[in-house]
Amino acid sequence: MLRRNVQIFLLFFLVALLLIFFKAGRFFDFGVLLRLLPQPQKTVNQLLNPPNNLESSYQELLSQNTRLQALAQENDSLRALLNLKSKANYDLKVANILSRDLLNQNLLVIDAGEADGVVPGQAVVVNDGVIIGKIIEVRADASVLRLLTDGLSKIAVNIGDSQNVAGVLTGSLGLGMNLSYVPQEQAINKGDLVLTSRLNEKIPAGLVIGSVEEVKFSQEELFKQATVSPLLDYSTLSLVAIIVSL
C-alpha cells in the first residue's frame, strides 16, 4: 500500500513539474529535431537538380575521355605505319592530315611536301598498307591528297590473288568506288579483295583498296561492273604515309 502511494506521488510530481516547465516556456521543443532532419522534397530537388559544378565536372570528364580515345587511335595508326615501314620494300614518309577541302571532302592537305621527297602520283597508305588515295599537288612543305572515293580518281586494280582478273577503279562522288572493264568471262564475287595492279606508275602492286560489294553484269555487255567499299572510314583518318620511293 505504501509503495502504491509513493508511485502515485511521483506521478503527480512529474506532471506538476512538466506543467511548470510548460508554463515557463521552457518546455522542450521536439520540432527542433524535426527541423534538423532532411526534408523529403528538398532531397528530391537536390537529386533532380545537381549543382552546376557537378555538371561541368561530368562534361570535362567526357572531354578528357574523348581526347584519350583519339590519342589511343592515333598511336595505333602510327604503330601500324611504323610496322609497315620496317617490313616494306619501299620508303615511307609519315604525315598528318591538316585539313579537308571545304567544297570537296575527298581532297586532303597533309604536312609533307617537296622537302620530304613527295611528288604527284605517289600512293598514300594507312595501317598495314591499305591505300586510300594519291598525291595530286605538291608544295614546299605540304601536299594535296585525293581519296580513291573522289569522282576524278582512277587506278588500275586486280581482284583477289589472281593477276588475270583486272579492271579500272574510279571514285563514286565520295560515296564509294566503281569497278569497271572486267571481262565477262572472268569471275568476281562479293567479298573479293581489290588490290592495286602493277600497271600503276609510282604505286606498288598488291596494296589493298577494299572489297567487292555488288557485281553487276548482263549478257549483252562486254564487261562486268561492280561496286567496291573501302576497308575503313576515310572520315576518321588523322595519320597517313606516302610511299616516296619503290
DSSP, collapsed to helix, strand or coil, labels residue 211 as strand
Are 205 and 196 within 8 A, CB to CB? yes
pLDDT reading at 62 higher than 80 = no
**Position 18 confidence tier, pLDDT thresholds 50, 70, 90:** low
Longest dimension (CA), the chain: 127
Residue 153, all three cell numbers: 580518281
Q: Is 137 exposed, middle or buried (0-12, 13-18, 19+ CB in 10 A)?
A: middle
Flag whether 177 is in a domain. yes
* Confidence (pLDDT) at 237: 85
Tell me the CATH number at 232: 2.40.10.340
DSSP, collapsed to helix, strand or coil, labels residue 41 as helix
Phi, psi at 98, each rounded to 5°: -90, -40
Flag whether 150 is in a domain. yes
Highest mean pLDDT among 28-37, 145-154, 231-240: 145-154
Are 238 and 110 within 8 A, CB to CB? no
Average pLDDT, the chain: 78
What is the rounded average pLDDT of the residues 4-11?
A: 60
**Position 63 confidence tier, pLDDT thresholds 50, 70, 90:** low
Flag whether 29 is in a domain. no
Neighbours of 143 (CB within 10 A): 27
26-48: pLDDT as tens digits: 545 545 444 555 555 555 555 55
Flag whether 76 is in a domain. yes
pLDDT reading at 103 higher than 50 = yes
Flag whether 130 is in a domain. yes
Are 242 and 122 within 8 A, CB to CB? yes
Q: How far is CA 237 from CA 73, 83, 205, 241, in A?
A: 10, 18, 23, 11
**Position 228 confidence tier, pLDDT thresholds 50, 70, 90:** very high
Number of domains the chain is built from: 1
Flag whether 1 is in a domain. no
Flag whether 39 is in a domain. no
Compute the distance between CA of residue 95 and CA of residue 112 in angstroms, rounded to an integer: 6
Range of lowest pLDDT (34-48, 101-115, 185-199, 222-236): 34-48
pLDDT reading at 118 higher than 90 = yes
pLDDT reading at 76 higher than 50 = yes
Structural domain of residue 159, as residue ranges? 55-245
Q: What share of the chain in percent tops pLDDT 90?
A: 34
pLDDT reading at 67 higher than 80 = no
pLDDT reading at 106 higher than 70 = yes
Flag whether 23 is in a domain. no
* Confidence (pLDDT) at 79: 63
